[in-house]
Amino acid sequence: MAEEVKLLGRRLSPFSTRVRIALNLKEVAHEFVTVEIFGQKSEILLKSNPVYKKIPVLLHHGNPICESMVILHYIDDVWARSPSILPSHPYDRAIARFWVTYIDDNLLNTIWGMIMAASKGAAKEATGRAAEILQTLEEAFKQCSQGKNFFGGDAIGYLDIALGSYLGPLKAGEKLSNMELLDEKKVPLLAGWAERFSKHDAVREVLAGAEEYIEMIQSMADGVPTV
């Protein structure tokens, strides 16, 4: 009997994208359920995540699991087959968690700041901060990948998914600010990684592009959010 797996989310939510990639990597058949997060939130969301009322939520046999990186841990534990999402060695897992925290604490807010500043013609400071963060992550890639294609080594892993989920907003920010941040001259390792990640079979269909985010940003400016 097929397992009942549903994911509550939105296409343009980077956090929903993380879970979709993880499920694809593990080849877990699932239903992606788009829920309302603005105005009157979907009843299924309120019931499944009454504390934060946020996406994503994974429903496995009706049991809800919330928060994107917590869900990734759950997926890796429940569907323990290869490929593994988290590194096998405790030290490597600790390092991956450290960098995920760094990314979530710094990158997304900086990207949105860059996008908002671009609309006011004042993107220089925000893009400068984004460039600094990417330079730091360039060094992290050198350390974690050990010369291989992904942060996780030969295969996409925990840290790849965390950072890769932000590629759409980042590229939207580049277009809106007319600044190239994933510049192969400045961050060659990250630039190559981003291209490989975006083309991966588990990623390609679920990773939204820059134009979709730009359309969403414009709709938000008009008071009609579509994320």
Query: Is residue 32 within 8 Å of residue 5, measured between CB atoms?
Result: no
Beta bridge partners of 153: 150
Give pLDDT tens digits for 23-66: 999 999 999 999 999 889 999 999 999 999 999 999 999 999 99
pLDDT band of residue 126 (cuts 50, 70, 90) is: confident
Query: Is residue 36 within 8 Å of residue 9, measured between CB atoms?
Result: no
* 19 vs 69: CA distance, rounded Å: 8
- Quick one: tokens of 71? 């869900």
Give pLDDT tens digits for 80-108: 999 999 999 999 999 999 999 999 999 98
- Quick one: tokens of 209? 């592009």
The pLDDT score that the predictor gives to residue 222 is 57
pLDDT over 90 at 164, yes or no: yes
Query: Is residue 161 within 8 Å of residue 16, measured between CB atoms?
Result: no
Regarding pTM above 0.85, the answer is: yes
If you write DSSP's letter for every residue of 38-71 in order, what string do you get?
Answer: SSS--HHHHHH-TTT--S-EEEETTEEEESHHHH
- Mean pLDDT across 182-208: 97
Q: Phi, psi at residue 203, to the nearest 5°? A: -110, -40
- Mean pLDDT across 127-135: 94
Query: Is residue 9 within 8 Å of residue 32, measured between CB atoms?
Result: yes
* 226 vs 145: CA distance, rounded Å: 36
Task: State which amino acid sits at residue 113.
Answer: G
Percent of the chain's residues with pLDDT above 90: 82
Which domains, ranges and CATH numbers included, belong to the chain?
Answer: 5-78 (3.40.30.10), 90-220 (1.20.1050.10)
The pLDDT score that the predictor gives to residue 119 is 63
